[in-house]
Amino acid sequence: MKLATIRTPTGTAAVRVEDDHAVELGEPDLGALLRHEDWLDRATVDGPTHAVSDLDFAPVVPSPEKILCVGLNYRRHILEMGRELPKFPTLFAKFPPALIGAYDDIVLPEVSDAMDWEAELALVTGPGGTIAGYTVLNDVTARDWQYRTAQWLQGKTFARTTPVGPYLVTGDLAPAQLSCEVNGELMQSASTSDLVFGPAELIEYISTILPLAPGDLIATGTPGGVGHARKPPVRLGDGDLVTTRIEGLGECHNRCRAEKPS
């Protein structure tokens, strides 16, 4: 089942996405839907419909309580860099103002000239720290700010930089191909089977640190092919089109736009 949060003339709405239409579920967004223990049953109800071609996607969960991200989590990429596989997940955080919808513009902050792409599989939690489903995310990063200190957060959570969506796809996830293109050129390609720490392991590990709430977002890490590691480095610029795709989950298409001076 495909679920989403869409923008409507009166606000946002949680919807179930069918072949050619989407059905409103009576909740303002997927975060609100997932707070119900019987959310899967509620996701099957009928309501007002919208043509899929007219949908304006908000972030899958517009205001999650937590956005947790994992670094250094693709086995082949770690080994090709000459590093040892980590014993524990590398965790950092984002905050909700960073999130944008699947087709929204990525805002390139005026203070950075080193914006980079990071295609990622993300999972969304349900009640009791369960996995409600999976979605597509790009952890667009300001590399110059990320490496100002040993802590990454400052480069990871600039406002309006992180596409997520378009759908939350429920059910088990088979190994899937993940990719990122910039202006049609393939930059990243890997299978989610290459993750060092898979979704279930990440849920277990994070849950020992703090409780996970319905609608929390966990980004599982990116494979090789980022612009920062290229010789010379490649940066995102005004007008670039970033396409982030995961087999079976959908894709995000986001145009980069330079932040307008305040």
**What pTM did the predictor assign?**
0.96
Over the stretch 86-121, which tens digit does the pLDDT of each residue have?
A: 999 999 999 999 999 999 999 999 999 999 999 999
Q: What is the pLDDT of residue 261?
A: 79
* CATH 3.90.850.10 intervals, the chain: 67-258
The per-residue pLDDT for 76 is 84
Q: Tokens standing for 48?
A: 């007002």
Fold (topology level) of 67-258: Fumarylacetoacetate hydrolase; domain 2 (3.90.850)
pLDDT at 54: 94
How confident is residue 82, by pLDDT bands cut at 50, 70 and 90?
confident
The Cα–Cα gap between 196 and 163 comes to 23
Could you report the per-residue pLDDT of 224-254, keeping only the tens digit for each?
999 998 999 999 999 999 999 999 999 999 9
- Please give the pLDDT value at position 55: 97
Under a CB-based contact definition with an 8 Å cutoff, are residues 30 and 60 in contact? Answer: yes
Number of alpha carbons in the 13 Å side-chain half-sphere of residue 20: 0
Is the predicted pLDDT of residue 166 greater than 80, yes or no? yes
Cα dihedral angle (252, 145, 98, 100), rounded to 10 degrees? Answer: -20
Q: What is the pLDDT of residue 78?
A: 86
Q: What is the mean pLDDT of residues 151-156?
A: 94
Q: What are phi and psi of 162, to 5 degrees?
A: -120, 100
Report how far apart the first and last C-alpha atoms of the chain are (Å, whole number): 42
Which of 51, 53, 54, 47 is CA-nearest to residue 21? 51
Say yes or no to pLDDT of 65 above 90: yes
Report pLDDT for 37: 97
Mean pLDDT score across all residues of the chain? 96
Classify 238 as helix, strand or coil: coil
Contacts of 113 (CB under 8 A, 6+ apart): 144, 235
Percent of the chain's residues with pLDDT above 90: 93
What is the arrangement of strands in the sheet containing 250-258, beginning at the earlier edge strand?
A: 106-108, 250-258, 241-246, 177-182, 185-191
Q: With bands split at pLDDT 50, 70 and 90, how would you rate the model's confidence at 143?
A: very high
pLDDT of residue 49: 96
Q: Are 248 and 64 in contact (CB under 8 A)?
A: no
Cα(241)–Cα(243) distance, integer angstroms: 7
Which residues are paired to 190 by β-bridges? 178
**pLDDT at position 195:** 96
Residue pLDDT, tens place only, 211-222: 999 999 999 999
Task: Reply yes or no on whether the pLDDT at 262 is more than 80.
Answer: no
